[in-house]
Amino acid sequence: MKIKIGICGYGNLGKGVESEISKNSDMELIAVFTRRNPVESLKISSNVPVVHVNSIAEWKNKIDVMILCGGSANDLPEQGPEIAKHFNTIDSFDNHKKILQYFKAVDNAAKLGNNISIVSIGWDPGLFSLMRMYMGAVIPTGKTYTFWGKGVSQGHSQAIRRIIGVVDAVQYTIPIDSAMEKVRNGENPNLSVREKHTRLCYVVAAEKADRSRIENEIKEMPNYFDEYDTTVIFISAEELKANHSSLPHGGNVIHIGATGSGNKQVIEFSLKLNSNPEFTSSVLLSFARAAFRLSQNGDCGAKTILDIPPALLSPHSIENLMEKLL
Amino acid sequence: MKIKIGICGYGNLGKGVESEISKNSDMELIAVFTRRNPVESLKISSNVPVVHVNSIAEWKNKIDVMILCGGSANDLPEQGPEIAKHFNTIDSFDNHKKILQYFKAVDNAAKLGNNISIVSIGWDPGLFSLMRMYMGAVIPTGKTYTFWGKGVSQGHSQAIRRIIGVVDAVQYTIPIDSAMEKVRNGENPNLSVREKHTRLCYVVAAEKADRSRIENEIKEMPNYFDEYDTTVIFISAEELKANHSSLPHGGNVIHIGATGSGNKQVIEFSLKLNSNPEFTSSVLLSFARAAFRLSQNGDCGAKTILDIPPALLSPHSIENLMEKLL
């Protein structure tokens, strides 16, 4: 019997989950839920029902795990707790400052519904959080550095698109190699925001727009760009589409410390992703398996990636894993 | 109240555990257990009792977790199950072919004694096993490669020392960079043993020993060297001591796969260790914390690294971890 998966939200992430389910032979997609009206306006790739999210509770006994693919700003704060009342859920909530508050709201709802909800799954938060935790536990006197990129930051691209005169834009976050090398060499540098990453923006401007005004608005935008060295390059809409349509990303978590009388120890985890949303989707699916198993065992409530026994993610038996991987 | 740690066996690993305990403010060393006779012949760095291993059971109520620092060939197959009857234990059993058999023997004993035993902890088996599992669960259609080194293999060094005419020896396992690059580039190579690693041996020969015979015996030694390109360099005892006394090691686990319509995804974990035994000891200690907590919660039996909820390794509270790391 396969694990029955529902997808709630059909943007890049929802499409990724749909695409990656077939890689997991113990799972099947049951339905896609959307807020669009009419639901018929949403065309999906799979041959499963598209259902309005208002009817989601009616699918309670037909779906084992609901994967919440909405955004952290507007969708999840409401959907997370609401849907956790009815389903085991997995989400990629990434609004760091509100994570504890979100966790508690989902935890209450999941306990009411006797469901498991694993929150903030993906790669950061997600696998990178997990690595930071393992690394810090193993070498407790060490220091952890996280670098992101080279990759497209959708939040920063979106921020540029809101500027008047900008037709479209793609922003790459680029780690500074020399800073990473300093870390790996054990120099324990104190790195400012500017010393860790640069930002590279490809912008399509409206025909008569003032390009120098746009460039300044980008470079001075608080929080997003003002603390970074930012490069702005104006290109045509065709060029943007041809060369900057994919969503690569990745990064490095580096932990460096010493044992004994100063023996340097370096632990590093890195991702090089040609599709950020598809990778995130793959991570969500492996945790859907864990949520299903925890729920089958009678557990309930909200969990994070730090709570989940690793073997629950794998389709293989523990004896098989011991023989093949240990 | 601190977690009370015992060390059983005082070789490189036991010394490493002793050195690293001080980095964990929630732990204290209570005693070191040894097979040496008389026990007074063993001098240790800490100011704690040295006790003969035959009296270990008498310390049952004074120690929370016993860290087994004996070898996998001769010590652990007997000590593991025997000591698990009386104590929570952590070990670094690494005889891959016997791991399931060992696990079952320890599991039975630990359940009899109502104790937790986490087996095969370290970095391989250990953190590398864990990474192989996470990576395979996240991208199930991908392929995982493990490379070791550059580092000293104590087993291979020991094998050379057994050859007649050899006074001392140190063997380095060296990964082949071009093979690693092929993997990272997504070429999905099928690599033979010879194509992944080379072996470099520094050998001190007895004065009148036949060096070409020694070199041949090394290069043709079944299992250890015959499948590798091996280089043998004869040096003086002084040079061996001066340049090859430390025990560095490390390696890379690389998982490569694709999502969607062929988007390449690369996950990599690497270690660069200046002291292999001290790093392994640090890993053992973080799992000692987990064993203690599992035992406090009333759980018992043998576990592997794949069974342990990550947060149990950390001295920090789950709320603190969520705020700082997630």
The beta-carbon neighbor of B134 closest among A275, A278, A313 is A313
Question: Which residues in chain A touch residue B266, judged by CB atoms under 8 angstroms apart?
Answer: 270-273
**Averaged pLDDT, A50-55:** 98
B260 touches chain A (CB under 8 A): yes
pLDDT score of B298 more than 90? yes
Query: B225 — phi, psi (to 5°)?
Result: -130, -20
Identify any residues that bridge with A267 across adjacent strands, giving them in sequence order: A255, B271
Q: Whole-angstrom Cα distance, residue B279 to residue B262?
A: 38
Chain A closest CA to B166's CA: distance in Å? 29
Chain B, window 166-185: residues with a beta carbon less than 8 angstroms from a chain A beta carbon: 184
Residues in chain A: 326
Is the ipTM here above 0.90? Answer: yes
How far from A291 is each of A86, A115, A118, A288, B150, CA to CA, in Å?
A: 14, 9, 7, 5, 39
Chain B, window 22-51: residues with a beta carbon less than 8 angstroms from a chain A beta carbon: 23-24
pLDDT score of B96 more than 90? no
**Averaged pLDDT, A91-107:** 95
The beta-carbon neighbor of A325 closest among B24, B133, B313 is B133
Residue B103 is classified by DSSP as H
**Averaged pLDDT, B180-209:** 96
**Averaged pLDDT, B166-187:** 97
pLDDT tens string B234-281: 999 999 999 999 999 999 999 999 999 999 999 999 999 999 999 999
pLDDT tens string A233-252: 999 999 999 999 999 999 99
User: What's the pLDDT score for residue B88?
Assistant: 98
User: What's the pLDDT score for residue A16?
Assistant: 98
Helix axis angle for B318-325 and A99-113, nearest 10°, is 130
Contact A86, A60 (CB under 8 A): yes
The beta-carbon neighbor of A326 closest among B120, B139, B265 is B120
Q: Whole-angstrom Cα distance, residue A77 to residue A79?
A: 6
Which residue is associated with the tokens 């580039």? B185
- How far does chain A reach from its first CA to its final CA, in angstroms? 28
**Averaged pLDDT, A159-169:** 97
CB contact under 8 Å between B100 and A311, yes or no, is no
Torsion-angle region of residue A251: left (phi > 0), alpha (psi -120 to 50) or beta?
left
User: What's the pLDDT score for residue A96?
Assistant: 87
Lookup: tokens for B60: 């049952």
Chain CA centroid to CA B252, Å? 15
**Averaged pLDDT, B223-243:** 97
CB contact under 8 Å between B286 and A138, yes or no, is yes
